[in-house]
């Protein structure tokens, strides 16, 4: 037997493909418009910036360990019991904690074909087996999910709206999914983009968490609140799930400046409304413009658009990505999401949106590649 001469990570960990974020640079280009990470084009609330700066003189102090004031502010904003809220270093932190708490060796976790890449990472990191189920029209299919459930299933992740497709599952279907899942299977509704959705048949999941023992909703401050750099997220969950998460989360998993900025951001509803209005206007404008160019755009309710390109030499998603990059327009290649002929484009400022559509017009028209 060969002697092992160094520590070796678990097989489930070594099977993980590391998460690769969207690119943020374009060598040789003077001015960049980053439309690859679904960041807010309007930035954070000025009140959040002021609150963040107010903590600069206390960086030597540990933050309050339970994020109590932040949980109270979130609870007040949404009418929730702060004791049923758990905050984390981004919603990614909470997704990992949920998998760690409920998935072990031999267990299975379900997500859909084009679901958020972190789900598979979290399931494998916990020692579980990822089960990927097909979608219908780039949308999570409740019947397909239910058909994939086995006695080993412990968790189901659904991004609603989904990243990178921008599609969503309506309220009736989400309720049907929960009603037909075994009661010991945890349903995680990742509602990172919920604030952008303006559809009467949509639910972020608050009502379901309030009445069900096996549903968790996660949210983030990275998108509409414009605090991506601070890594701040929260979960609303049954008390027994909160208890489990508190047992394994880091004792200071939310830093003080992030908490103060988060409190100010959640209270500044005017800024949130302004950001949502901006997104609704320009998402529709981009969708219409892209469609007029003869390119397919998946209908989106989030702050980005999934654009499909033909599999033809010189006209592919890779070609378009390179062309846009030369124009200083950084978008997201989503081949890692099994969408090799698509690019995901964040709704930007008015200037960025107009430049993006203009560049796409030039690309489709075959104009000079510069």
Burial of residue 228, with CB atoms counted within 10 A of its CB: 0-12 exposed, 13-18 middle, 19 or more buried:
middle
Residue 38 φ/ψ, nearest 5 degrees: 60, 35
Retrieve residue 238's tokens: 């049954």
The 3-state secondary structure of 299-358 reads CCCCCEEEEECCCCCCCCHHHHHHHHHHCCEECEECHHHCCCCEEEEECCCHHHHHHHHH
Segment 109-143, tens digit of pLDDT: 999 999 999 999 999 999 999 999 999 999 999 99
Residue 213 φ/ψ, nearest 5 degrees: -90, -5
Residue 1: the pLDDT is 60
Rg (CA), the chain: 21
Give the span between the Cα atoms of 355 and 348, in whole angstroms.
Answer: 10
Q: What is the mean pLDDT of the chain?
A: 95
Expressed in percent and rounded to 5, the helix, strand and coil fractions of the chain are: 40, 15, 40
Domains in the chain, CATH or no CATH each: 20-43+270-365 (3.90.1150.10), 46-267 (3.40.640.10)
User: Which helix (H) or strand (E) element contains residue 21?
Assistant: none
Cα–Cα nearest to 162, from 304, 4, 312: 304
Report the chain (370 residues): mean pLDDT per 10 consecutive residues.
Answer: 80 84 79 95 97 95 96 98 97 97 97 97 96 98 98 98 98 98 98 97 96 98 97 98 97 96 98 98 98 97 98 95 96 96 98 98 74
Angle between helices 239-248 and 90-102 (to 10 degrees): 100
The residues, any chain, with a CB within 8 Å of residue 161's CB and separated by 6 or more, are 167, 168, 193, 194, 196, 197, 300, 301, 302
Give the span between the Cα atoms of 68 and 83, in whole angstroms.
Answer: 9
| Buried/exposed code over 25-53 (b: 16+ C-beta within 10 A; e: otherwise) | ebeeeeeebbbbbbbbbeebbebbbebbe
């Amino acid at each position: 037997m060969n002697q092992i001469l160094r520590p070796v990570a678990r097989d489930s960990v070594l099977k993980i493909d590391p998460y690769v974020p969207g690119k943020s640079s374009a060598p040789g280009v003077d001015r960049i418009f980053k439309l690859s990470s679904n960041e807010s084009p309007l930035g954070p609330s000025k009140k959040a910036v002021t609150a963040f700066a107010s903590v600069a003189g206390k960086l030597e102090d540990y933050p309050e360990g339970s994020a109590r004031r932040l949980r109270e502010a979130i609870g007040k904003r949404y009418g929730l019991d702060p004791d049923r809220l758990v905050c984390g270093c981004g919603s990614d932190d909470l997704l990992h904690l949920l998998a760690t708490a409920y998935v072990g060796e031999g267990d299975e976790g379900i997500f859909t074909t084009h679901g958020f890449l972190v789900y598979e990472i979290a399931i494998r990191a916990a020692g579980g087996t990822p089960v990927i189920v097909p979608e219908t029209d780039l949308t999570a299919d409740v019947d397909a999910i239910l058909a994939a459930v086995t006695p080993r299933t412990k968790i189901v992740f659904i991004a609603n709206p989904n990243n990178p497709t921008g599609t969503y599952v309506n309220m009736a279907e989400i309720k049907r999914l929960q009603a037909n899942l075994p009661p010991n299977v945890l349903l995680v509704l990742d509602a990172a983009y919920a604030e952008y959705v303006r559809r009467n048949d949509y639910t972020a999941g608050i009502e379901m968490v309030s009445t069900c023992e096996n549903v968790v909703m996660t949210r983030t401050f990275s998108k509409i609140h414009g605090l991506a750099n601070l890594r701040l997220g929260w979960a609303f969950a049954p008390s027994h799930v909160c208890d489990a998460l508190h047992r394994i989360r880091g004792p200071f998993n939310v830093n003080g400046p992030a908490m103060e900025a988060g409190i100010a951001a959640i209270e500044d509803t005017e800024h949130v409304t302004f950001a949502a209005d901006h997104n609704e206007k320009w998402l529709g404008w981009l969708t219409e413009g892209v469609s007029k160019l003869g390119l397919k755009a998946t209908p989106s309710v989030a702050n980005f658009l999934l654009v499909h390109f033909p599999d033809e030499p010189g006209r592919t998603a890779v070609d378009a990505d390179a062309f846009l990059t030369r124009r200083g327009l950084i978008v997201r290649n989503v081949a890692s999401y099994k969408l090799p002929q698509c690019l995901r484009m964040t709704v930007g400022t008015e200037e960025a949106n107009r430049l993006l559509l203009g560049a796409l017009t030039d690309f489709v028209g075959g104009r000079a590649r510069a």
